[in-house]
Structure 1
Amino acid sequence: MSPLVPARPLAPSHPPAQWFPEVRHHCPSTPIILVGTKLDLRDDKDTIEKLKEKKLAPITYPQGLALAKEIDSVKYLECSALTQRGLKTVFDEAIRAVLCPQPTRPQKRPCSLL
C-alpha cells in the first residue's frame, strides 16, 4: 500500500511519483494499492483555509485515481483512521490483492523482423 494524503496538494515531488519507479523496479509483480489517508482533513475548514492561503487545494478523488492509473496501481482507495471511514475496505482490498492478484499485463516488445 502506498499512502497519499488528500488534504495535501499533489506535487511532482510527492512520494508515490518520486519513489514508485524504484519500488516497481525491485518488486515488479507486487500489486500496489494507492491509499488516500486522512480523508477527514479534505473537508476540514482549517486545513482548507491553510491551503487557500498558499493558493492550493486538497487532492480530489479524480486526481488520486489519475495518479493510481499513472503508477499502474491495482486500486485507489481513500480512508480516515480518525473517522474509520473506508478503513476496513482498505485492509480487505489489500488482502484481496495478495490472495487474488490480477493477471499481469505482458510487456510490450518491439516487433523484430528477420
Structure 2
Amino acid sequence: LISRPSFENISKKWVPELRHYAPNVPIVLVGTKLDLREDKQFPMNFPGACTISTEQGQELRKEIGALAYIECSSKAQQNVKAVFDAAIKVVLQPPLKSKKQKRKFGFCHAL
C-alpha cells in the first residue's frame, strides 16, 4: 500500500507469471503495510512516496480477476486473520462459474 512500483508489478509481472504456471489457482490480492499508509509521519519520512488507496486496490482486484482484496498490517495485527480467512474461503467455496465460462472449455458428447 506504500509502493507504486510493487503495485504496478502485480499486473505487469506477477499475475502473468502466475497465470502461466498455475492458470486455475484463485487469487487473493493483499495490500500490506496498512499501518504505514495510515501513518501521518510516513509522507514526511519518505517524500515522493505514493500510497495506494483502497479504491485503487479494488480496481486492480477486478482487473486481474482476484476473488478477494484485503488490506492488512502484520505490524499492527490489522486484518491478518482476514487474509487467511479469505484464502480459505476461495479454496473451499469457489464462486460458481457462469454458463458462458463453462462453454468456453467445451464438452464432447458421443451419440
TM-score range, shorter chain: 0.7 to 0.9
Partner of residue 41, structure 1: 36
Larger mean Cα displacement after TM superposition, 91-100 or 20-29: 20-29
CA distance in 2, matches of 1:95, 1:107: 24
Assess if the C-alpha contact under 8 Å between 1:33 and 1:75 holds in 2. yes
CA distance in 2, matches of 1:12, 1:42: 14
Q: Which amino acid aligns with 2:89?
A: R
Partner of residue 60, structure 1: 53
Partner of residue 23, structure 2: 28
CA distance in 2, matches of 1:59, 1:49: 16
1:92 aligns with 2:102: no
Q: Which runs of 5+ in 1 are unaligned?
A: 1-5, 110-114
Q: What is the TM-score with the length of structure 2 in the denominator?
A: 0.77
CA distance in 1, matches of 2:16, 2:96: 20
CA distance in 1, matches of 2:58, 2:71: 10
* 1:93 to partner: Cα distance: 0.8
* 1:104 to partner: Cα distance: 3.9
CA distance in 2, matches of 1:49, 1:26: 41
User: After TM superposition, which residue ranges in structure 1, 4 or more long, deviate above 6 angstroms?
Assistant: none
Q: Which amino acid aligns with 2:32?
A: T
Counterpart mapping for 1:78-89 below 5 A: 78-89=71-82
Larger mean Cα displacement after TM superposition, 97-106 or 84-93: 97-106
Match of 1:15 among 1, 5, 9: 9
Q: What is the TM-score with the length of structure 1 in the denominator?
A: 0.75
| CA separation of 1:8 and 1:50: change in aligned 2, threshold 3 A | farther
More helix by share: 2
CA distance in 1, matches of 2:102, 2:23: 11
Aligned length: 101
Larger radius of gyration: 2
Aligned-partner SS, 2:41: helix
Aligned-partner SS, 1:84: coil
